[in-house]
């Protein structure tokens, strides 16, 4: 049985918007526990869809800060 990790809202945000910046442990944990965080992941995915960005690399820090401020 996998030990539970403390996952923050910022971890989930990073998981959706910029997963390569997430720690390997958190990335693996979120990949293995997507059902547990489905609501939060889906919410971030809907934010991503609203940005109309086709490539994650196109998301600037300014856009990310605006989204985080909501």
**Contact (Cβ atoms closer than 8 angstroms) between residue 33 and residue 5:** no
- By the 8 A CB rule, do 40 and 7 touch? no
CB 52 within 8 A of CB 26: no
Does the pLDDT at position 65 exceed 80? no
In the chain, domain spans: 9-69
Tokens read off for 65: 């800060």
Q: Which residue has the higher pLDDT, 58 or 3?
A: 3
Reported as a single tens digit per residue, the pLDDT across 12-52 is 988 998 898 999 999 999 999 999 999 999 998 888 787 76
Regarding pTM above 0.75, the answer is no
Q: Is 52 left (phi over 0), alpha (psi -120 to 50) or beta?
A: left
């Amino acid at each position: 049985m996998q030990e539970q990790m403390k996952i923050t809202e910022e971890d989930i945000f990073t998981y959706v918007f910029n997963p390569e910046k997430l720690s390997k442990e958190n990335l693996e944990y979120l990949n293995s526990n997507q059902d547990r965080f489905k609501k939060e992941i889906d919410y971030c995915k809907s934010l991503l869809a609203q940005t109309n960005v086709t490539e994650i690399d196109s998301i600037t820090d300014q856009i990310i800060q605006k989204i985080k401020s909501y």
